[in-house]
Structure 1
């Protein structure tokens, strides 16, 4: 059977939480629940690193504005992880070329990453922190559920992941006006800090 549905779903999940995907796939492989997971993802050092980074993301992802900074840092990490996982899965199964699988995994991860980052920007326009926490938990549960489903039922999981990606893009487009306000407000704060720093340098006043 083609590994493409699993590559697509893991790519979508990597765009949301790459470390969770690596951790889950590694655990599934180590416990013998599937033969689809390559040995590289089952290594102890890889699992430990993924677990530590997953815990870091679990905290950062629930703090307003910090989550957007974290997303910005992972604009390269998540698509790259999706591409690497896709290529490794293809090499393990032999039913799809590494280049094709890497392209599918990386592109899907990039798309879902932008949906996640855009949604968080819109959420951060609200001062309360509870929406961030709820969204983060929902994303983590979604990633865990879909990756698990993809191991045993890859085609239904890929269909769900594709549907979530389309819905997510539509939501980001709808919320784009809020996202633009968030970006303008953040740029304004940076400009105010820069002007304040310049004023302190001119007057010799101590930093506040």
Structure 2
């Protein structure tokens, strides 16, 4: 069976939370639940590093504006992780070339990362901080559930991932105007504070 659906799903999930994907696949493989998980992902050092970084993301991802800064840093990390996991999965199955799998996983991760980063910027326009926590938890649960589901039903999981990606891109299109208005208002407030802080009288000399 082609590993293409699993690569696509893992790529989508990597764009949302790459560390969760690596950690979950590694744990499922190490415990014998997932037979198709590459041995590299099951290595203890990989699991430890992924676990520590996952905890860091779990905290940063729930703090307004910190989450957007974290997303900016991971613009390269998440697509690279998606490409890496995709290449490993392809090498494990032998049904798809490593290069093709890497391109698919990386490009899908980049698209889903763009959706996540844009959505978070829109959520940060809300005055209350609880939206970030709710969205972050929903993302983590969605990634975990879909990656685990993909090991047993890869085609169905790929359909779900594709649908979520498409809906996310459409939503992002409509959120762009809201993000732009928020950024303009923030820039205007910053300029007003700067003008107010200027000395208005003549110099004392």
TM-score (structure 2 length as normaliser): 0.91
Over aligned residues, Cα RMSD in angstroms?
A: 1.9
Deviation of 1:158 after TM superposition, in Å, equals 0.3
Give the CA deviation at 1:180: 1.1
Equivalent position of 2:27 in the other structure: 27
- Give how far 1:48 is off: 0.5
Unaligned 5+ runs, structure 2: 200-205
Counterpart for residue 173 of structure 1:
173
**Paired residues, number:** 198
Distance in 2 of aligned mates of 1:70 and 1:182 = 19
- Tell me how far 1:189 sits from its aligned partner: 6.7
CA drift at 1:83: 0.3
Aligned to 2:182: 182
Instruction: Determine whether 1:131 maps to 2:131.
Output: yes
Residues 63 and 97 of structure 1: CA distance in aligned 2, closer, same or farther (over 3 Å): same
Q: Which residue of 1 aligns with 2:76?
A: 76
Deviations 1:37-66 (A, max 9, x none): 111111101100101100110011011111
Seen in structure 2, the aligned counterparts of structure 1 residues 66 and 191 have a Cα distance that, compared at 3 Å, is farther
Matched-pair contact (CA < 8 Å) for 1:124–1:182: no
Deviations 1:13-50 (A, max 9, x none): 00000000000000011011122111111110110010
- Give 3-state SS (helix, strand or coil) of 1:175's partner: helix
Over residues 114-142 of structure 1, what are the superposed CA-to-partner deviations in whole Å (9 max), with x where a residue is unaligned? 00000011111111011111000000000
Q: 28-37 or 51-60: which moved more? A: 28-37
Find the counterpart in structure 2 of residue 41 from structure 1.
Answer: 41
Any stretches of 5+ residues in structure 1 without a counterpart? 201-208
Q: The residue matched to 1:27 in structure 2 has which SS? A: helix
Are residues 89 and 190 of structure 1, via their aligned partners in 2, closer, same or farther at CA, if it must alter by over 3 Å?
farther
Determine the C-alpha separation between the residues in 1 that align with 2:184 and 2:143. 31
Matches within 5 A, 1:182-201: 182-185=182-185, 187=187
**What's 2:203 paired with?**
none
* Runs of 4+ residues over 2 Å off in structure 1: 181-193
